[in-house]
Chain A
Protein backbone atom coordinates (compact mmCIF):
# COMPACT_ATOMS: atom_id res chain seq x y z
CA UNK A 1 0.00 0.00 0.00
CA UNK A 2 2.93 2.34 0.76
CA UNK A 3 6.26 1.83 -0.94
CA UNK A 4 9.49 3.77 -0.55
CA UNK A 5 12.54 3.00 -2.66
CA UNK A 6 15.80 4.87 -2.13
CA UNK A 7 13.86 7.82 -0.88
CA UNK A 8 15.70 11.04 -0.04
CA UNK A 9 14.56 14.34 1.34
CA UNK A 10 16.93 17.23 1.41
CA UNK A 11 16.36 20.72 2.82
CA UNK A 12 18.45 23.52 1.43
CA UNK A 13 21.86 22.49 0.11
CA UNK A 14 23.22 20.51 3.04
CA UNK A 15 20.51 19.21 5.38
CA UNK A 16 19.59 15.64 4.53
CA UNK A 17 16.43 14.88 6.51
CA UNK A 18 15.95 11.41 5.04
CA UNK A 19 18.56 9.28 3.28
CA UNK A 20 17.99 6.17 1.20
CA UNK A 21 14.79 5.02 2.89
CA UNK A 22 13.45 1.66 1.72
CA UNK A 23 10.20 0.70 3.35
CA UNK A 24 7.06 -1.17 2.36
CA UNK A 25 3.89 -1.03 4.41
CA UNK A 26 1.12 -3.47 3.53
CA UNK A 27 -2.60 -3.14 3.94
CA UNK A 28 -3.74 -3.90 7.50
CA UNK A 29 -0.33 -3.44 9.14
CA UNK A 30 0.33 -1.72 12.44
CA UNK A 31 3.71 -0.04 12.43
CA UNK A 32 5.63 2.10 14.89
CA UNK A 33 8.11 4.61 13.54
CA UNK A 34 10.46 5.55 16.35
CA UNK A 35 13.50 7.74 16.76
CA UNK A 36 14.75 10.80 18.62
CA UNK A 37 13.59 14.29 17.70
CA UNK A 38 15.16 15.27 14.42
CA UNK A 39 15.60 11.67 13.30
CA UNK A 40 13.26 12.24 10.36
CA UNK A 41 9.91 10.93 11.64
CA UNK A 42 8.00 14.13 10.92
CA UNK A 43 9.56 14.49 7.49
CA UNK A 44 8.51 10.95 6.67
CA UNK A 45 4.90 11.61 7.70
CA UNK A 46 4.85 14.87 5.74
CA UNK A 47 5.97 13.00 2.65
CA UNK A 48 3.11 10.53 3.13
CA UNK A 49 0.60 13.41 3.31
CA UNK A 50 2.37 15.11 0.43
CA UNK A 51 2.98 18.18 2.46
CA UNK A 52 6.50 17.74 1.16
CA UNK A 53 7.83 16.30 -2.09
CA UNK A 54 10.70 13.77 -2.06
CA UNK A 55 14.03 15.05 -3.36
CA UNK A 56 14.92 11.70 -4.92
CA UNK A 57 13.66 8.14 -5.01
CA UNK A 58 10.25 6.56 -5.34
CA UNK A 59 7.27 7.02 -3.04
CA UNK A 60 4.09 5.18 -3.96
CA UNK A 61 0.90 5.46 -1.97
CA UNK A 62 -2.09 3.27 -2.85
CA UNK A 63 -0.12 2.24 -5.91
CA UNK A 64 0.34 5.80 -7.18
CA UNK A 65 3.57 7.70 -7.49
CA UNK A 66 3.12 10.83 -5.34
CA UNK A 67 5.73 12.78 -7.26
CA UNK A 68 3.34 12.68 -10.18
CA UNK A 69 0.42 13.97 -8.13
CA UNK A 70 -1.01 17.25 -9.23
CA UNK A 71 -1.74 19.73 -6.47
CA UNK A 72 -5.45 19.42 -7.03
CA UNK A 73 -5.24 15.62 -6.48
CA UNK A 74 -3.72 16.02 -3.02
CA UNK A 75 -7.04 16.53 -1.15
CA UNK A 76 -8.31 13.23 -2.54
CA UNK A 77 -5.13 11.49 -1.35
CA UNK A 78 -5.69 12.91 2.12
CA UNK A 79 -9.27 11.68 2.25
CA UNK A 80 -7.77 8.20 2.40
CA UNK A 81 -5.45 9.10 5.25
CA UNK A 82 -6.77 9.84 8.75
CA UNK A 83 -4.46 12.07 10.75
CA UNK A 84 -4.13 12.05 14.58
CA UNK A 85 -2.04 14.82 16.17
CA UNK A 86 -0.10 15.15 19.39
CA UNK A 87 -1.95 18.36 20.27
CA UNK A 88 -5.39 16.96 19.22
CA UNK A 89 -6.19 20.01 17.04
CA UNK A 90 -9.85 20.18 17.95
CA UNK A 91 -11.93 23.27 17.28
CA UNK A 92 -12.78 24.71 20.68
CA UNK A 93 -15.81 26.67 19.47
CA UNK A 94 -17.85 23.57 18.64
CA UNK A 95 -18.86 20.37 20.38
CA UNK A 96 -17.51 16.86 19.92
CA UNK A 97 -20.14 15.89 17.36
CA UNK A 98 -19.45 18.95 15.21
CA UNK A 99 -15.69 18.49 15.47
CA UNK A 100 -16.04 15.03 14.00
CA UNK A 101 -18.71 16.09 11.51
CA UNK A 102 -16.39 18.87 10.34
CA UNK A 103 -14.14 16.31 8.63
CA UNK A 104 -17.12 15.07 6.63
CA UNK A 105 -18.70 18.45 6.02
CA UNK A 106 -15.65 19.97 4.39
CA UNK A 107 -15.37 17.16 1.87
CA UNK A 108 -18.97 17.78 0.86
CA UNK A 109 -20.70 14.91 2.67
CA UNK A 110 -24.49 15.02 2.93
CA UNK A 111 -26.36 15.63 6.20
CA UNK A 112 -27.62 12.07 6.07
CA UNK A 113 -24.12 10.67 5.80
CA UNK A 114 -22.99 12.88 8.67
CA UNK A 115 -25.90 11.75 10.87
CA UNK A 116 -25.06 8.15 10.12
CA UNK A 117 -21.29 8.14 10.35
CA UNK A 118 -20.51 10.48 13.25
CA UNK A 119 -22.38 8.31 15.83
CA UNK A 120 -20.55 5.24 14.52
CA UNK A 121 -17.21 6.96 15.00
CA UNK A 122 -18.28 8.13 18.47
CA UNK A 123 -19.22 4.59 19.37
CA UNK A 124 -15.89 3.32 18.14
CA UNK A 125 -14.02 5.65 20.54
CA UNK A 126 -16.62 5.15 23.32
CA UNK A 127 -17.65 8.80 23.58
CA UNK A 128 -21.33 8.56 22.66
CA UNK A 129 -22.41 10.20 25.91
CA UNK A 130 -20.06 13.20 25.39
CA UNK A 131 -21.20 14.11 21.89
CA UNK A 132 -22.50 17.52 22.89
CA UNK A 133 -19.64 18.56 25.18
CA UNK A 134 -17.11 21.15 24.09
CA UNK A 135 -13.48 19.97 23.87
CA UNK A 136 -12.42 21.95 26.96
CA UNK A 137 -14.97 20.02 29.05
CA UNK A 138 -13.11 16.79 28.25
CA UNK A 139 -9.95 15.22 29.68
CA UNK A 140 -6.85 14.98 27.52
CA UNK A 141 -7.49 11.33 26.78
CA UNK A 142 -11.06 12.04 25.76
CA UNK A 143 -9.93 14.87 23.53
CA UNK A 144 -7.51 12.54 21.78
CA UNK A 145 -10.35 10.05 21.34
CA UNK A 146 -12.26 12.77 19.53
CA UNK A 147 -9.15 13.27 17.41
CA UNK A 148 -9.10 9.57 16.58
CA UNK A 149 -12.82 9.59 15.79
CA UNK A 150 -12.32 12.52 13.43
CA UNK A 151 -9.50 10.63 11.70
CA UNK A 152 -11.73 7.56 11.35
CA UNK A 153 -15.06 9.05 10.41
CA UNK A 154 -14.24 9.24 6.73
CA UNK A 155 -13.24 5.52 6.77
CA UNK A 156 -9.69 6.07 5.50
CA UNK A 157 -7.46 3.19 4.45
CA UNK A 158 -4.65 4.47 6.67
CA UNK A 159 -4.54 6.24 10.02
CA UNK A 160 -1.34 8.12 10.75
CA UNK A 161 -0.74 9.21 14.34
CA UNK A 162 2.04 11.70 15.03
CA UNK A 163 3.08 11.35 18.70
CA UNK A 164 -0.54 10.66 19.67
CA UNK A 165 0.32 10.15 23.34
CA UNK A 166 2.90 12.94 23.65
CA UNK A 167 0.56 15.08 25.75
CA UNK A 168 -1.00 12.26 27.79
CA UNK A 169 -0.19 10.42 31.03
CA UNK A 170 0.92 6.75 30.80
CA UNK A 171 -2.48 5.16 31.58
CA UNK A 172 -4.31 7.35 29.11
CA UNK A 173 -1.57 6.74 26.56
CA UNK A 174 -2.16 3.02 26.88
CA UNK A 175 -5.88 3.58 26.30
CA UNK A 176 -5.26 5.53 23.11
CA UNK A 177 -2.79 2.96 21.85
CA UNK A 178 -5.32 0.20 22.58
CA UNK A 179 -7.87 2.16 20.61
CA UNK A 180 -5.52 2.47 17.63
CA UNK A 181 -4.77 -1.23 17.88
CA UNK A 182 -8.50 -1.99 17.83
CA UNK A 183 -8.93 0.13 14.74
CA UNK A 184 -6.11 -1.82 13.15
CA UNK A 185 -7.79 -5.13 13.99
CA UNK A 186 -10.88 -3.93 12.13
CA UNK A 187 -8.76 -3.60 9.00
CA UNK A 188 -7.30 -0.10 8.92
CA UNK A 189 -3.57 0.31 8.41
CA UNK A 190 -2.09 2.26 11.34
CA UNK A 191 1.20 4.15 11.37
CA UNK A 192 2.30 5.59 14.71
CA UNK A 193 5.29 7.89 15.06
CA UNK A 194 6.37 7.99 18.68
CA UNK A 195 9.19 7.88 21.16
CA UNK A 196 7.12 6.31 23.95
CA UNK A 197 9.42 3.37 24.67
CA UNK A 198 7.12 1.51 27.08
CA UNK A 199 4.21 1.51 24.66
CA UNK A 200 6.28 0.30 21.75
CA UNK A 201 7.75 -2.49 23.84
CA UNK A 202 4.36 -3.43 25.22
CA UNK A 203 2.57 -3.80 21.90
CA UNK A 204 5.12 -5.98 20.14
CA UNK A 205 4.32 -4.68 16.65
CA UNK A 206 6.52 -3.91 13.68
CA UNK A 207 9.03 -1.20 14.60
CA UNK A 208 10.97 0.96 12.18
CA UNK A 209 13.82 2.99 13.68
CA UNK A 210 15.08 6.21 12.17
CA UNK A 211 18.29 7.90 13.18
CA UNK A 212 19.79 11.00 11.59
CA UNK A 213 17.62 10.41 8.55
CA UNK A 214 18.64 6.81 8.04
CA UNK A 215 16.45 3.77 8.53
CA UNK A 216 18.62 1.73 10.83
CA UNK A 217 16.25 -1.06 11.86
CA UNK A 218 12.97 -2.61 10.71
CA UNK A 219 11.72 -5.58 12.74
CA UNK A 220 8.48 -7.49 13.12
CA UNK A 221 7.38 -7.64 16.77
CA UNK A 222 10.22 -5.30 17.64
CA UNK A 223 11.06 -3.23 20.65
CA UNK A 224 12.14 0.37 20.92
CA UNK A 225 15.61 0.35 19.52
CA UNK A 226 18.24 2.77 20.63
CA UNK A 227 21.53 2.45 18.81
CA UNK A 228 23.45 4.33 21.45
Chain B
Protein backbone atom coordinates (compact mmCIF):
# COMPACT_ATOMS: atom_id res chain seq x y z
CA UNK B 1 0.00 0.00 0.00
CA UNK B 2 1.45 3.30 -1.08
CA UNK B 3 1.65 6.17 1.36
CA UNK B 4 -0.54 8.47 -0.71
CA UNK B 5 -3.17 5.73 -0.96
CA UNK B 6 -3.00 5.31 2.80
CA UNK B 7 -3.79 9.00 3.27
CA UNK B 8 -6.59 8.70 0.75
CA UNK B 9 -8.15 5.76 2.64
CA UNK B 10 -7.81 7.53 5.97
CA UNK B 11 -9.35 10.69 4.57
CA UNK B 12 -12.30 8.80 3.10
CA UNK B 13 -12.79 6.87 6.34
CA UNK B 14 -12.80 10.02 8.46
CA UNK B 15 -15.24 11.73 6.08
CA UNK B 16 -17.56 8.75 6.37
CA UNK B 17 -17.43 8.70 10.15
CA UNK B 18 -18.36 12.37 10.23
CA UNK B 19 -21.12 11.89 7.67
CA UNK B 20 -22.65 8.88 9.45
CA UNK B 21 -23.01 10.98 12.61
CA UNK B 22 -25.09 9.19 15.21
CA UNK B 23 -24.45 5.74 13.78
CA UNK B 24 -20.73 6.35 14.32
CA UNK B 25 -21.39 7.63 17.83
CA UNK B 26 -23.51 4.57 18.66
CA UNK B 27 -20.85 2.18 17.33
CA UNK B 28 -18.11 3.91 19.30
CA UNK B 29 -20.28 3.97 22.43
CA UNK B 30 -21.02 0.24 22.38
CA UNK B 31 -17.37 -0.64 21.78
CA UNK B 32 -16.42 1.75 24.58
CA UNK B 33 -18.94 0.27 27.03
CA UNK B 34 -17.86 -3.29 26.21
CA UNK B 35 -14.20 -2.49 26.67
CA UNK B 36 -14.90 -0.38 29.75
CA UNK B 37 -16.51 -3.38 31.43
CA UNK B 38 -13.65 -5.62 30.37
CA UNK B 39 -11.13 -3.06 31.56
CA UNK B 40 -12.86 -2.67 34.91
CA UNK B 41 -12.83 -6.42 35.45
CA UNK B 42 -9.19 -6.58 34.57
CA UNK B 43 -8.45 -3.86 37.11
CA UNK B 44 -10.48 -5.70 39.73
CA UNK B 45 -8.76 -8.96 38.87
CA UNK B 46 -5.26 -7.56 39.14
CA UNK B 47 -6.04 -6.11 42.53
CA UNK B 48 -7.75 -9.25 43.81
CA UNK B 49 -4.71 -11.22 42.68
CA UNK B 50 -2.44 -8.83 44.52
CA UNK B 51 -4.67 -9.03 47.59
CA UNK B 52 -4.60 -12.83 47.45
CA UNK B 53 -0.83 -12.81 47.27
CA UNK B 54 -0.76 -10.51 50.27
CA UNK B 55 -2.96 -12.86 52.22
CA UNK B 56 -0.96 -15.92 51.28
CA UNK B 57 2.18 -14.23 52.47
CA UNK B 58 0.49 -13.36 55.71
CA UNK B 59 0.08 -15.91 58.45
CA UNK B 60 -2.87 -18.16 58.08
CA UNK B 61 -3.90 -18.49 61.71
CA UNK B 62 -3.32 -16.00 64.48
CA UNK B 63 -3.74 -17.28 68.01
CA UNK B 64 -4.03 -14.65 70.72
CA UNK B 65 -2.98 -15.72 74.17
CA UNK B 66 -5.46 -15.06 76.93
CA UNK B 67 -4.25 -12.16 79.14
CA UNK B 68 -5.16 -14.17 82.20
CA UNK B 69 -3.38 -17.37 81.17
CA UNK B 70 -0.95 -18.82 83.69
CA UNK B 71 2.67 -19.62 82.92
CA UNK B 72 1.86 -23.36 82.99
CA UNK B 73 -0.90 -22.90 80.49
CA UNK B 74 1.41 -20.90 78.25
CA UNK B 75 4.10 -23.58 78.41
CA UNK B 76 1.57 -26.32 77.68
CA UNK B 77 0.19 -24.33 74.76
CA UNK B 78 3.63 -23.88 73.26
CA UNK B 79 4.34 -27.59 73.61
CA UNK B 80 1.09 -28.60 71.93
CA UNK B 81 1.61 -26.18 69.10
CA UNK B 82 5.18 -27.14 68.38
CA UNK B 83 4.33 -30.84 68.32
CA UNK B 84 1.20 -30.45 66.16
CA UNK B 85 1.88 -32.38 62.95
CA UNK B 86 -0.28 -30.26 60.62
CA UNK B 87 1.56 -27.09 61.52
CA UNK B 88 4.58 -26.19 59.51
CA UNK B 89 5.49 -22.97 61.22
CA UNK B 90 4.85 -21.72 64.71
CA UNK B 91 6.07 -18.25 65.54
CA UNK B 92 5.67 -16.39 68.79
CA UNK B 93 4.95 -12.67 68.44
CA UNK B 94 5.26 -10.58 71.56
CA UNK B 95 2.97 -7.61 72.07
CA UNK B 96 5.98 -5.29 71.70
CA UNK B 97 6.82 -6.82 68.35
CA UNK B 98 3.21 -6.62 67.24
CA UNK B 99 3.16 -2.96 68.18
CA UNK B 100 6.30 -2.20 66.18
CA UNK B 101 4.89 -4.06 63.22
CA UNK B 102 1.63 -2.12 63.29
CA UNK B 103 3.57 1.12 63.49
CA UNK B 104 5.53 0.15 60.40
CA UNK B 105 2.40 -0.82 58.50
CA UNK B 106 0.79 2.50 59.20
CA UNK B 107 3.84 4.32 57.88
CA UNK B 108 3.25 8.06 57.84
CA UNK B 109 -0.02 7.54 59.68
CA UNK B 110 1.74 6.08 62.72
CA UNK B 111 0.74 9.17 64.70
CA UNK B 112 -2.48 7.24 65.30
CA UNK B 113 -0.55 5.15 67.84
CA UNK B 114 0.75 8.07 69.85
CA UNK B 115 0.10 7.62 73.55
CA UNK B 116 0.14 3.83 73.37
CA UNK B 117 3.90 3.52 73.23
CA UNK B 118 4.83 2.55 76.75
CA UNK B 119 4.57 -1.02 77.95
CA UNK B 120 1.52 -0.57 80.14
CA UNK B 121 -0.53 1.21 77.48
CA UNK B 122 0.13 -1.30 74.70
CA UNK B 123 -3.35 -2.58 73.72
CA UNK B 124 -2.05 -5.60 71.86
CA UNK B 125 -1.70 -9.15 73.10
CA UNK B 126 1.02 -11.78 72.79
CA UNK B 127 0.22 -14.16 69.98
CA UNK B 128 1.32 -17.10 67.88
CA UNK B 129 1.36 -16.98 64.12
CA UNK B 130 0.71 -20.40 62.69
CA UNK B 131 1.15 -21.69 59.18
CA UNK B 132 -0.25 -25.06 58.13
CA UNK B 133 1.58 -27.25 55.64
CA UNK B 134 -1.57 -27.44 53.52
CA UNK B 135 -3.66 -24.25 53.20
CA UNK B 136 -6.91 -26.27 53.17
CA UNK B 137 -6.23 -27.41 56.74
CA UNK B 138 -6.59 -23.87 58.06
CA UNK B 139 -10.27 -24.05 59.16
CA UNK B 140 -9.83 -27.47 60.82
CA UNK B 141 -6.66 -26.59 62.69
CA UNK B 142 -8.10 -23.19 63.54
CA UNK B 143 -11.07 -24.79 65.27
CA UNK B 144 -8.84 -27.33 67.03
CA UNK B 145 -6.40 -24.84 68.55
CA UNK B 146 -9.27 -22.78 69.97
CA UNK B 147 -9.55 -25.46 72.68
CA UNK B 148 -5.88 -25.46 73.62
CA UNK B 149 -5.06 -24.12 77.09
CA UNK B 150 -4.45 -20.42 77.55
CA UNK B 151 -6.03 -19.43 74.26
CA UNK B 152 -7.92 -16.15 74.22
CA UNK B 153 -9.02 -15.87 70.66
CA UNK B 154 -8.17 -17.50 67.32
CA UNK B 155 -8.35 -15.68 64.02
CA UNK B 156 -8.25 -17.55 60.75
CA UNK B 157 -9.21 -15.29 57.89
CA UNK B 158 -11.10 -17.91 55.91
CA UNK B 159 -14.44 -16.66 57.12
CA UNK B 160 -13.76 -13.33 55.42
CA UNK B 161 -11.60 -14.33 52.50
CA UNK B 162 -13.58 -17.22 51.06
CA UNK B 163 -16.88 -15.40 50.49
CA UNK B 164 -14.91 -12.53 48.97
CA UNK B 165 -13.34 -14.85 46.43
CA UNK B 166 -16.67 -16.51 45.75
CA UNK B 167 -18.25 -13.11 45.19
CA UNK B 168 -15.59 -11.89 42.76
CA UNK B 169 -15.85 -15.23 40.94
CA UNK B 170 -19.59 -14.81 40.38
CA UNK B 171 -19.20 -11.18 39.38
CA UNK B 172 -16.53 -12.21 36.91
CA UNK B 173 -18.76 -14.78 35.16
CA UNK B 174 -21.78 -12.49 35.02
CA UNK B 175 -19.51 -9.77 33.67
CA UNK B 176 -18.01 -12.05 31.02
CA UNK B 177 -21.44 -13.10 29.77
CA UNK B 178 -22.64 -9.51 29.70
CA UNK B 179 -19.48 -8.45 27.90
CA UNK B 180 -19.86 -11.21 25.31
CA UNK B 181 -23.34 -9.93 24.50
CA UNK B 182 -22.07 -6.40 24.23
CA UNK B 183 -19.20 -7.42 21.99
CA UNK B 184 -21.66 -9.04 19.58
CA UNK B 185 -23.75 -5.86 19.67
CA UNK B 186 -20.65 -3.80 18.96
CA UNK B 187 -19.71 -5.91 15.94
CA UNK B 188 -23.29 -5.73 14.69
CA UNK B 189 -23.46 -1.96 15.06
CA UNK B 190 -20.15 -1.41 13.31
CA UNK B 191 -21.24 -3.76 10.52
CA UNK B 192 -24.45 -1.77 10.20
CA UNK B 193 -22.59 1.54 10.09
CA UNK B 194 -20.29 0.27 7.38
CA UNK B 195 -23.27 -1.08 5.49
CA UNK B 196 -24.74 2.41 5.58
CA UNK B 197 -21.49 3.80 4.20
CA UNK B 198 -21.46 1.21 1.43
CA UNK B 199 -25.02 2.24 0.57
CA UNK B 200 -24.24 5.96 0.58
CA UNK B 201 -21.20 5.38 -1.58
CA UNK B 202 -22.69 2.88 -4.02
CA UNK B 203 -22.34 5.27 -6.97
CA UNK B 204 -18.74 6.04 -6.11
CA UNK B 205 -17.99 2.33 -5.75
CA UNK B 206 -19.54 1.63 -9.16
CA UNK B 207 -17.44 4.33 -10.83
CA UNK B 208 -14.33 3.08 -9.06
CA UNK B 209 -14.95 -0.35 -10.52
CA UNK B 210 -15.40 1.02 -14.03
CA UNK B 211 -12.23 3.09 -13.97
CA UNK B 212 -10.19 0.15 -12.75
CA UNK B 213 -9.71 0.60 -9.01
CA UNK B 214 -8.55 -2.67 -7.48
CA UNK B 215 -10.86 -4.55 -5.13
CA UNK B 216 -8.69 -3.78 -2.17
CA UNK B 217 -8.49 -0.12 -3.06
CA UNK B 218 -12.28 -0.08 -2.87
CA UNK B 219 -12.39 -2.08 0.36
CA UNK B 220 -9.72 -0.33 2.42
CA UNK B 221 -11.63 2.87 3.29
CA UNK B 222 -14.42 0.75 4.80
CA UNK B 223 -11.99 -1.36 6.79
CA UNK B 224 -10.29 1.82 7.97
CA UNK B 225 -13.62 3.29 8.99
CA UNK B 226 -14.38 0.24 11.15
CA UNK B 227 -10.88 0.26 12.59
CA UNK B 228 -11.09 3.91 13.56
CA UNK B 229 -14.49 3.38 15.21
CA UNK B 230 -13.03 0.48 17.20
CA UNK B 231 -9.91 2.43 18.12
CA UNK B 232 -11.84 5.43 19.44
CA UNK B 233 -14.07 2.95 21.26
CA UNK B 234 -10.96 1.56 22.98
CA UNK B 235 -9.28 4.87 23.82
CA UNK B 236 -12.35 6.27 25.62
CA UNK B 237 -12.57 3.55 28.31
CA UNK B 238 -8.79 3.70 28.75
CA UNK B 239 -9.08 7.40 29.57
CA UNK B 240 -12.05 6.85 31.87
CA UNK B 241 -10.34 3.99 33.69
CA UNK B 242 -7.10 5.94 33.97
CA UNK B 243 -8.71 8.89 35.71
CA UNK B 244 -11.28 6.78 37.57
CA UNK B 245 -8.72 4.34 38.93
CA UNK B 246 -6.34 7.12 39.86
CA UNK B 247 -8.93 8.75 42.10
CA UNK B 248 -9.98 5.33 43.45
CA UNK B 249 -6.39 4.63 44.50
CA UNK B 250 -6.16 8.03 46.17
CA UNK B 251 -9.43 7.53 47.99
CA UNK B 252 -8.46 4.04 49.16
CA UNK B 253 -5.13 5.22 50.46
CA UNK B 254 -6.67 7.98 52.52
CA UNK B 255 -9.64 5.96 53.81
CA UNK B 256 -8.81 2.25 53.96
CA UNK B 257 -5.40 1.84 55.37
CA UNK B 258 -4.47 -1.78 54.94
CA UNK B 259 -5.30 -2.48 51.29
CA UNK B 260 -2.49 -2.04 48.84
CA UNK B 261 -3.36 -1.36 45.17
CA UNK B 262 -1.49 -1.70 41.90
CA UNK B 263 -0.24 1.71 40.69
CA UNK B 264 -2.30 3.31 37.92
CA UNK B 265 0.56 3.37 35.36
CA UNK B 266 1.06 -0.38 35.69
CA UNK B 267 -2.65 -1.06 35.30
CA UNK B 268 -3.00 1.15 32.23
CA UNK B 269 0.02 -0.46 30.61
CA UNK B 270 -1.63 -3.85 30.95
CA UNK B 271 -4.99 -2.54 29.72
CA UNK B 272 -3.40 -0.88 26.67
CA UNK B 273 -2.06 -4.24 25.57
CA UNK B 274 -5.54 -5.77 25.70
CA UNK B 275 -8.09 -3.04 24.97
CA UNK B 276 -6.47 -1.42 21.94
CA UNK B 277 -6.05 -4.66 19.97
CA UNK B 278 -9.56 -5.74 20.99
CA UNK B 279 -11.11 -2.44 19.87
CA UNK B 280 -9.32 -2.67 16.53
CA UNK B 281 -10.36 -6.32 16.20
CA UNK B 282 -14.04 -5.48 16.84
CA UNK B 283 -13.82 -2.72 14.23
CA UNK B 284 -12.15 -4.87 11.60
CA UNK B 285 -14.54 -7.74 12.26
CA UNK B 286 -17.61 -5.52 11.96
CA UNK B 287 -16.46 -3.81 8.79
CA UNK B 288 -15.30 -7.09 7.20
CA UNK B 289 -18.78 -8.54 7.64
CA UNK B 290 -20.35 -5.67 5.71
CA UNK B 291 -17.60 -5.43 3.13
CA UNK B 292 -18.03 -9.12 2.44
CA UNK B 293 -21.82 -9.08 2.36
CA UNK B 294 -22.67 -5.74 0.81
CA UNK B 295 -19.67 -4.59 -1.17
CA UNK B 296 -19.79 -6.48 -4.41
CA UNK B 297 -16.45 -5.87 -6.05
Query: Chain A interface (Cβ within 8 Å of chain B)?
Result: 49, 71-72, 75-81, 83, 89, 91, 102-103, 105-108, 110-111, 150, 154
Contacts and interface: CB of A to CB of B under 8 A. Distances in A.
Interface in B1-16: 2, 4-5, 8
Q: Report which residue of A75, A81, A150 has the largest number of chain B beta carbons within 10 angstroms of its beta carbon.
A: A75
Q: When A and B form their complex, which 6 residue pairs have the shortest distance between CB atoms, in order from nearest?
A: A79-B212, A78-B212, A106-B213, A103-B211, A75-B212, A75-B214
A111 B4 CA distance: 9
Nearest to B213: A106
Interface of B: 2, 4-5, 8, 203-204, 206-215, 217-218
B291 to A, nearest CB: 16
A49 B211 CA distance: 10
Given A108-B4, A108-B5, A89 B214 contact: no
A49 B215 CA distance: 15
A190 B206 CA distance: 22
Given A91-B203, A102-B207, A75 B4 contact: no
Given A105-B8, A108-B4, A110-B4, A78 B210 contact: yes
A86 B208 CA distance: 17
Contacts, number: 55
B203 A75 contact: no
A137 B22 CA distance: 31
Nearest to B4: A110
Contacts of A79: 211-212
B214 A72 contact: yes
Nearest to B8: A105
Contact of A108 (B204, B207, B217): B217
Nearest to A111: B4
26 contacts: A49-B210, A71-B215, A72-B215, A75-B213, A75-B214, A75-B215, A77-B212, A78-B210, A79-B211, A79-B212, A80-B212, A83-B210, A83-B211, A89-B207, A91-B203, A91-B207, A102-B204, A102-B208, A102-B211, A106-B217, A107-B213, A108-B2, A108-B5, A108-B217, A110-B4, A111-B4
B263 to A, nearest CB: 48
Nearest to B216: A72
Contacts of B206: 89
Given A72-B214, A72-B215, A108-B5, A78 B207 contact: no
B277 to A, nearest CB: 29
A89 B203 contact: yes
Given A79-B211, A89-B206, A106-B213, 9 more contacts: A79-B212, A81-B212, A83-B210, A89-B210, A102-B207, A105-B8, A106-B218, A107-B217, A108-B5
A159 B154 CA distance: 95
Contacts of A103: 207, 211
- Residue in A79, A80, A103, A106 whose Cβ sees the most chain B Cβ within 10 Å: A106
A83 B212 CA distance: 10
B4 A76 contact: no
Contacts of A107: 211-214, 217
Contacts of B217: 75, 106-108
A204 B213 CA distance: 35
Contacts of A110: 4
